[in-house]
Structure 1
């Protein structure tokens, strides 16, 4: 007796259906990621260019305004909602610096601009032991069209110790605002150091600042720009800064009442008498690595957005944070006074912002704050 077994082969229609499903899934994924980029104010994800170390200042700033999950500690710690750091593009061994601001949106409001310079120890000190302080002045370079020469405009000036070392910060907001209104006017900045008597000092030996060419990346000249792109939420704008009731400390767990515990205890016995789970907050983790964004996002690697799920049955207790409207709606629903009236919905009643630290297309490091990204608690509305 010969037994023949037929091996099932995929038909042409099956293959076509499988390809169609895969294409549709790919289209949905692309559309979803594009929409997520829009939420983060981008058209395309920045190009990932390896693991470049972000400036320590930006890392420290991120850790100051955000917790380990990226959630904002205090919405008033940060001026505006965007901070950008730019490295010097001239990379000259001279004390002139120029920064490319092309990635700053034309509609962004320039709040503050700072020039960060790392002061090195002087190489020679014997001749200038009598000088304990020097005057450091920052000038904006201007192009005079009439005389075709470069002129200077004083932006900031102050005294600093000659023998000190470390970061020095100067305000250059006026220059950046003028560059944003006229890109061609961006000729850069110049540093001039003088004695208290006004005599120029040798900036190669006596008073030295790190340059982009000759020194480590961690000491490179940097422009830090604080801006606001107009995305501040109405909730934050209407909030009283003195009101400490909306602190960004998140609840440790979901809001659950006794009815929820009863529901779990009955799960194994009789499905028909299970009490609906009341409105509560549940985890919803957004993993940037799974989305494919880990190459350009520095922190966080992901965050818990949470979501609200559950029923808002009559009677609504205060633990469900109901609005007056939700309370009335639940009563009408329970009494069946009007057809088609559903129970109130379980939705976020408190939202927190998150902070994203990332590299843009020009390898600048950006710290951006996004409002209403995390469900802090849930209620019936």
Structure 2
């Protein structure tokens, strides 16, 4: 609005010569204000353009074709929150897989209680992109006391997980994993069901049933209540499948990028020793104006803050964590001489020297990111919670001249 007022005043001065009897040339304050507003508008447009590019890159890194349209935010399982917090806080932690997804229980198709034994048929629907390789799948069950019965000393229980295979009119159970539960405290237990999910995905169905059998002895036997697994969807303790997978496509791209970087950024120290460029007469053309030198140092290529808040860009409905992060950006000029702290490439040095010799022949080198740090993200897509450990291209670590 202020810029618009200044524009009106500028037009007034242009048409009338002076609204107060002064010439337009004398009103330098108005012109300066107008120039400042135009510069601020250019900076805003530049930032909006960068933000749009970042949003596209962000979706591409997550292998998403568009912004997920989620109706409501899904509460992530405790295990997923633990994983995210671990990778987000400890940069030295190396994830066992690139992508970790959690699939909630779709339905309990059958539940039987007989004396000290219970069995539950659990239906899940799993979907994983075909360019990802599933490395491990865990069924996580929350074990607890069913009813009002309390813990005792002679307790012993076992939990066994089977894959249910339907062949014509028959059902065949395939043993997947088994655990003895010696402790009576409510807790999460993990069972390896990788083979079952591999067969589901290979069948192009992605849906299947797992049968969980709980057998208890001693005071854990069922007599009006005993040891069981939670099936409650409301308190976030129902069974959940955790699928670990590797993004083969992104790993190949990263490997190609690392090889290219090794080939491109060779040892350039010998070029950094160049003190000045001499012309054909042996004269050195350097700007020795102290004010310009101070201004150049102030605007020299460096890393500056760029805070990305997912709520500001309308992504808070599907980005679970973090709510915001510091992405940084590279700003400034690459002026001669290019010092070690901006790690110039050989091409950047030659380009800078050429620009110094003849600005019409070559532009200055550009201030760009030369090192990027990963960002761990938790998001939801179609109700599926995903933790993704991104290895590159999300946060600027260093800036340089290229």
Q: 2:316 aligns with which of 294, 306, 312?
A: 294
Q: Tell me, in whole angstroms, the C-alpha distance in 1 between the residues paired with 2:295 and 2:325.
A: 33
Cα RMSD (Å) of the superposition?
Answer: 3.6
The answer as to 2:246 corresponding to 1:228 is yes
Change (3 A) 1:203 1:280: farther
Q: 2:135 aligns with which of 103, 107, 111?
A: 111
Q: 2:214 aligns with which of 165, 168, 193?
A: 193
The answer as to 2:391 corresponding to 1:368 is no
Q: Tell me, in whole angstroms, the C-alpha distance in 2 between the residues paired with 1:324 and 1:29.
A: 27
Map of 1:1-381 to 2, 5 A cutoff?
A: 37-67=59-89, 73-74=91-92, 77-91=94-108, 94=111, 95-102=120-127, 104-121=128-145, 123=147, 131-145=154-168, 148-161=169-182, 163-184=184-205, 186-194=207-215, 202=222, 205-212=225-232, 216-230=234-248, 231-232=250-251, 234=254, 274-275=295-296, 277-334=299-356, 340-361=361-382, 363-370=383-390, 371-381=392-402
**Does the Cα contact within 8 Å between 1:143 and 1:185 map onto a contact in 2?**
no
Change (3 A) 1:358 1:377: same
**Does the Cα contact within 8 Å between 1:91 and 1:97 map onto a contact in 2?**
yes
Q: Tell me, in whole angstroms, the C-alpha distance in 2 between the residues paired with 1:364 and 1:167.
A: 20
Q: Tell me, in whole angstroms, the C-alpha distance in 2 between the residues paired with 1:300 and 1:307.
A: 19
Q: 1:337-361 deviations in whole A, cap 9, x for unaligned?
A: x972333322111101212212222
SS state of the match for residue 376, structure 1? Answer: strand
Q: Tell me, in whole angstroms, the C-alpha distance in 2 between the residues paired with 1:287 and 1:222.
A: 30
Gaps of 5+ in 2: 1-48, 112-119, 260-289
**Does the Cα contact within 8 Å between 1:330 and 1:344 map onto a contact in 2?**
yes
SS state of the match for residue 112, structure 1? Answer: strand
Q: Please, what TM-score do these two structures have when normalized by structure 1?
A: 0.70
Q: 1:252-309 deviations in whole A, cap 9, x for unaligned?
A: xxxxxxxxxxxxxxxxx96798325211001122222122111222112222221112
Q: 1:139-188 deviations in whole A, cap 9, x for unaligned?
A: 1111123xx21101111112221523211011111111111111447431
Q: 1:87-135 deviations in whole A, cap 9, x for unaligned?
A: 1111457222121113x21222101111110000255879x96854333
Q: Tell me, in whole angstroms, the C-alpha distance in 1 between the residues paired with 2:325 and 2:375.
A: 8
**Does the Cα contact within 8 Å between 2:197 and 2:206 map onto a contact in 1?**
no
**1:40 deviation in Å?**
3.5
Change (3 A) 1:56 1:153: same
Gaps of 5+ in 1: 1-27, 240-268
**Does the Cα contact within 8 Å between 2:334 and 2:367 map onto a contact in 1?**
yes
SS state of the match for residue 124, structure 2? Answer: coil
SS state of the match for residue 67, structure 2? Answer: coil
SS state of the match for residue 187, structure 1? Answer: strand
- Number of residues of Structure 1 aligned to a counterpart in Structure 2: 310
**Does the Cα contact within 8 Å between 1:66 and 1:73 map onto a contact in 2?**
yes
| Equivalent position of 1:259 in the other structure | none
Q: 1:34-77 deviations in whole A, cap 9, x for unaligned?
A: 6753443222322333344222222221111114xxxx824x52
